[in-house]
């Protein structure tokens, strides 16, 4: 039985890589944010608007427990998931956790074009976003680094880089589960 949690900041490629490796490994893919949106019939932004971050984190934890019952699955967590409650310990008990590591400049370039659906960075200027990423990544790093494995996710600029990274990630998981 395989259960893999992809961990990392927003924009590290959890969803992009999760989709490809689940196909290659013949496992089901679940994106925790999408699971929440379907389960609660609301976008993540709407949930933040209605119940604030605190309410969202409770929903996120409940949803994490639900998806962690499934087997033979790759789960892309949200960027904040590991940093609340004992979520990191919970995931480490349920399966293999992999920290997708990406440097802050790369994150900035990816997130400035994809901030609209992410309530915690929406509306920030470039300078504010750069500063926010720096502070927030430092704060979250201690949680992310409790993951079982680390993976360099800096090179995901085009299809061939994504495929290459996917191949390496599958190798890493296969080796770990041998
Ligand atoms: C969040 C990351 C998002 C989503 C929510 C909060 C965070 O997920 O869960 O907007 O606190 O970093 P992605 O990492 O998939 O963007």
Q: How far apart are CA 20 and CA 10, in angstroms?
A: 18
Q: Which helix (H) or strand (E) holds 28?
A: strand 28-31
| Average pLDDT value for the chain | 97
CATH architecture of 3-176: 3-Layer(aba) Sandwich (3.40)
**Residue 122 bridge partners (DSSP):** none
Q: Is the pLDDT of residue 177 over 80?
A: no
What pTM was estimated for this model as a whole?
0.97
Distance 77 CA to ligand 1 centre (A): 8
Distance 79 CA to ligand 1 centre (A): 4
What is the chain's percent helix, strand, coil content, to nearest 5? Answer: 55, 15, 30
Contact criterion met (CB below 8 Å) for 58 and 9:
no
pLDDT (tens digit per residue) in 32-86: 999 999 999 999 999 999 999 999 999 999 999 999 999 999 999 999 999 999 9
Query: Ligand 1 within 6 A of 110 CB?
Result: no
Query: Ligand 1 within 6 A of 44 CB?
Result: yes
**Which residue has the CA at smallest separation from atom 16 of ligand 1?**
10
Q: Is the pLDDT of residue 106 over 90?
A: yes
**Helix axes 44-67 and 32-40, enclosed angle (nearest 10):** 110
Distance 168 CA to ligand 1 centre (A): 25
Q: How far apart are CA 21 and CA 16, in angstroms?
A: 9
Out of 80, 99, 153, mutate this one to test ligand 1's pocket (max ligand atoms within 8 Å of CB): namely 80
Q: Is the pLDDT of residue 115 over 90?
A: no
At residue 122's C-alpha, the angle toward residues 103 and 46, to 5°, is 125
Query: Ligand 1 within 6 A of 10 CB?
Result: yes
Q: Is the pLDDT of residue 13 over 80?
A: yes
């Amino acid at each position: 039985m395989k259960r893999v949690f992809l961990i990392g900041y927003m924009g590290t490629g959890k969803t992009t890589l999760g989709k490809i490796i689940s196909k290659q490994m013949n496992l089901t893919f679940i994106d925790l944010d999408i699971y929440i949106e379907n389960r609660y019939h609301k976008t993540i932004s709407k949930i933040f608007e209605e119940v604030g971050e605190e309410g969202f984190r409770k929903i996120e934890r409940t949803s994490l427990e639900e998806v962690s019952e499934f087997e033979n699955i790759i789960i892309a967590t949200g960027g904040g998931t590991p940093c609340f409650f004992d979520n990191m310990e919970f995931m480490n008990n349920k399966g293999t956790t992999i920290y997708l590591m990406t440097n802050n400049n790369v994150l900035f370039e990816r997130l400035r074009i994809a901030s609209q659906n992410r309530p915690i960075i929406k509306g920030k200027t470039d300078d504010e976003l750069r500063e926010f990423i720096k502070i927030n990544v430092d704060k979250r790093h201690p949680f992310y680094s409790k993951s079982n494995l680390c993976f360099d996710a800096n090179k995901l600029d085009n299809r061939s880089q994504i495929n290459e990274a996917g191949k390496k990630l599958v190798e890493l998981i296969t080796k770990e589960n041998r």
